[in-house]
Amino acid sequence: MPAHASNTLTLLKLAAVSLPGLASTPILANESVEWLADTQPLAQIQAGAGYVPTGASRLEGVVPDGPSSSKRYRISCFDDGSGKPARLRLRVQGMNRSAGSLVSATLERNGESRTVIDTTNGNLVYSDYATLDQGQGEYILTVRKVKKSSTAPDSSLNGASPFKTAQECNTANGAYTGVSMPVEIPGDSPSPNPTPKPPAPGPVGPVSSSKLQSFSSSLSKKTQERRFLVTCSANSAKQDTARYKFQIKAANKNRPYTLQMAVQKDGYENAGVVDLIGGDSTFSEQGVVEGGNGPYELIVRKVSETGDTLKPMAFQVRHVCETPEKTRGNLKKINQ
């Protein structure tokens, strides 16, 4: 082996002592890494091998069985001497190649949120980054299962979904600074022995799509998101709202863009759905927020787009306030 390659490998071994997980992986013994060490900087080798840079943390978990299951965590950004945090960045990786669903990750803080989806499970590649510029403090991470297409059956969300996340806190100039390991928020995973709930009164099944109200709007040019306010209240039969249901459809044909609709209730972003196939006749899967009567804030975001960004992105929302009896509550939309 050339002397300079040997010296670089020595540096790699020394770096492995201070980088968690690096020293234990057998890839450092491979001839391919010897060649990489001779031709590439250390940071590139770490990234190519799937390592998270210094100043970042990693998480491995499992979203439990059940279509509405999720995992929630607290992550803190702090100044470790490298500078005051400006943002938290996170990416997610679904680990089950045979899963019928995808894995999404949502970051939340100060009423703002960002969501990213790993569009291919089991390929050992992380998603793009979700970046939330909310400075120093505690962020909430929620990992969920989402359907691969709007026409996929609800049963596709069954089964446990293992995942990984990699997160980092950055200063305003992009330098790494302090980030905590995620701490799970208890109570979000279903109990292994849940108490049976009595059946809801009234007819079986959700409000039919023919009874859903709808409205259309658009995101103009470079607008990243748009917000609306709706209120749910008791209907004429004095039946209170139990839940708010919603769907979105990206309406422009031949426009390669993806839209997400999220809903906030009492300052917390409860749920989000994505129309994965823009411009067709189908809506996204249905999102549900069990929030009762009161205001709900709707947030429509551009998740991704390729091609022309100078045209508006039209969309249609379909939604309903549903009572415990699965009849329609009173829904009022207020534009913002």
CATH number at residue 60: 2.60.120.380
- The closest alpha carbon to 145, from 107, 108, 113, 102, belongs to 102
Where is the domain boundary, 167, 184, 201? 184
Q: Are residues 178 and 263 in the same domain?
A: no
- How far apart are alpha carbons 319 and 231 in whole angstroms? 12
CA distance 92 to 104: 7
Residue at which a domain ends, from 148, 169, 184: 184
Indicate if 151 and 238 belong to the same structural domain: no
CA atoms within 13 A on the CB side of 328: 12
Task: Look at residue 104 and tell me if it is in a domain.
Answer: yes
- Does residue 298 share a domain with residue 252? yes
| Residue 236 and residue 146 in one domain | no
Whether 50 is covered by a domain: the verdict is no
For the stretch 189-207, pLDDT in tens is 443 344 333 333 333 334 4
Whether pLDDT at 27 is above 90: no
3-state helix, strand, coil split of the chain in percent (to 5) is: 15, 45, 45
Assigned domain for 146 exists? yes
Q: Which one of 115, 150, 184 terminates a domain?
A: 184
Task: Tally the domains of the chain.
Answer: 2
Residues 285, 321, single domain; the answer is yes
Q: Is there a domain that residue 255 lies in?
A: yes
Percent of the chain with pLDDT over 70: 68
What would the two tokens of residue 85 be? 């945090």
Instruction: Name the DSSP letter for residue 328.
Output: B
Domain co-membership, 319 together with 280: yes
Q: How far apart are CA 121 and CA 118, in angstroms?
A: 7
Res 147 pLDDT > 80? yes
The kind and range of the H/E element at 103 are strand 101-109
Domain shared by 176 and 256, yes or no: no
The whole-angstrom separation of Cα 191 and Cα 102 is 23
Structural domain contains residue 316: yes
Average pLDDT over residues 114-122: 88
In sequence order, the 6+-apart residues with CB closer than 8 A to the CB of 309 are 221, 222
- 258's CB contacts (< 8 A; 6+ apart) are 250, 274, 275, 276, 278, 302, 303, 304, 305
Alpha carbon of residue 327 to chain centroid: 31
- Cβ–Cβ < 8 Å for 280, 257: no
Query: CA-to-CA distance for 52 and 166, rounded, in angstroms?
Result: 7
Query: Containing domain of residue 231, as a range?
Result: 210-334
Per-residue pLDDT, averaged over 87-114, amounts to 89
Euclidean distance between CA atoms 246 and 133, whole angstroms: 27
236 and 135 belong to one structural domain: no
On whether both 106 and 67 belong to a single domain, the answer is yes
The rounded mean pLDDT for the chain is 74
Residue 35, in any domain of the structure? no
Residue 299 lies in a domain: yes
The whole-model pTM stands at 0.47
Q: Is 49 part of a structural domain of the chain?
A: no
Judgement on whether residues 179 and 214 belong to the same structural domain of the protein: no
Identify which of 72, 51, 89, 109 has the alpha carbon closest to the alpha carbon of residue 177.
89
Q: What is the mean pLDDT of residues 287-307?
A: 80
- Domain match, 248 and 307 both: yes
Q: How confident is the model at residue 93 (pLDDT cuts 50, 70, 90)?
A: very high
Instruction: Look at 12-16, 248-252, 297-301 and tell me which has the smallest mean pLDDT.
Output: 12-16
pLDDT digits (tens, 9 = 90+) for 224-256: 788 899 999 999 989 999 989 888 888 777 666
Residues 225 and 62: their CA atoms lie apart, in Å, by 30
Same structural domain, 274 and 172: no
Beta strands in 119-242 (DSSP E): 130-132, 137-147, 161-170, 176-179, 183-184, 213-219, 225-233
Contact (Cβ atoms closer than 8 angstroms) between residue 142 and residue 32: no
Which ranges in the chain belong to alpha helices (H)?
3-18, 31-39, 42-48
